[in-house]
């Protein structure tokens, strides 16, 4: 019995010494969390750097993803400060002349259903306008544009935080934003960001 125990301990420390890591975790749109920019480009994805730093580290707009939603307009991939994919955002095409938000809400509900089938029921992230004017049905998109309303749904599991939300570019143009974040890498990104800010001041 003691021999089996010592053998197990030896295997454990040998594994640690070899620096073995858990198998890669699948991400959205045919991607894998933790891969490098070069590995993503190796899939045929076309990347263009986003010049401003949004606190995500190196970020790139992406075209020709392995998988995509039919109404996706664009996607942004963030690799943090150590070249590991940890955040993916997707923006839909815009629905114009949709003051009621009816077409976007229908698509939102469809995506919410699909995501709930895969990740569980999730939780609403909603805020209704306090002002009666923005509560009117024909001001739905306008209330989003002025941040008087939040219309979103979120999911969380051991690996990911996911959120789909409706956004507006003016009083009658509306789109959805879908965000995935890989939690095991998020902490290191935040730590690297703080370290860089500390060095800068």
Place of tokens 């991939």: 77
Per the domain annotation, does 48 fall within a domain? yes
The answer as to whether 140 is a domain residue is: yes
**The pair of three-digit structure tokens given for residue 166, joined into one six-digit string:** 């409706």
Q: Give the other-Cβ count within 10 Å of 28's Cβ.
A: 19
Is 80 part of any domain?
Answer: yes
pLDDT of the residue at 1: 41
- Over residues 54-60, the mean pLDDT reads 89
In what helix (H) or strand (E) does residue 132 lie, and over which residues does it extend?
helix 132-135
With CA atoms as reference, report the closest residue to 145 among 166, 119, 164, 122: 166
Query: Mean per-residue pLDDT for 139-168?
Result: 97
- Chain position carrying tokens 């073995």: 20
Q: Are 185 and 161 in contact (CB under 8 A)?
A: no
Domain count, the chain: 1
CA distances 48 to 35, 77, 96, 177, Å, are 17, 10, 27, 19
> Which two structure tokens, joined as six digits, stand for 198?
């500390």
Let me know if residue 12 belongs to a domain: no
pLDDT of residue 171: 96
Does 38 map to a domain?
A: yes
Contact assessment for residue 43 and residue 32, using Cβ atoms and an 8 Å cutoff: no
User: Is residue 8 a part of any domain in this protein?
Assistant: no
Look up the domain containing 148 and give its range. Answer: 21-191
Residue 23 pLDDT: 63
Domain assignment present for 16: no
What global pTM score does this model have? 0.84
Cβ count near 151 (within 10 Å): 23
Residue 3 lies in a domain: no
């Amino acid at each position: 019995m003691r021999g089996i125990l010592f053998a197990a301990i030896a295997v454990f420390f040998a594994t640690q010494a070899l620096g073995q890591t858990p198998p890669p975790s699948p991400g959205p749109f045919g991607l894998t969390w933790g891969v490098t920019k070069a590995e993503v480009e190796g899939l045929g994805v076309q990347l263009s750097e986003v010049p401003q730093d949004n606190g995500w580290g190196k970020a790139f707009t992406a075209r020709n993803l392995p998988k995509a939603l039919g109404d996706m307009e664009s996607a942004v991939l963030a690799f943090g400060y150590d070249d590991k994919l940890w955040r993916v955002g997707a923006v839909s095409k815009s629905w114009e002349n949709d003051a009621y938000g009816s077409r976007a809400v229908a698509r939102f509900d469809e995506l919410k259903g699909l995501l709930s089938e895969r990740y569980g029921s999730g939780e609403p992230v909603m805020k209704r306008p306090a002002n009666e004017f923005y509560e009117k049905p024909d001001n739905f998109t306008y209330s989003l544009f002025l941040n008087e309303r939040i219309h979103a749904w979120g999911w969380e599991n051991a690996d990911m935080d996911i959120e789909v939300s409706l956004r507006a570019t003016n009083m009658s143009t509306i789109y959805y934003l879908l965000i995935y974040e890989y939690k095991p890498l998020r902490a290191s990104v935040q730590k690297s960001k703080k370290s860089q800010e500390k060095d800068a001041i």
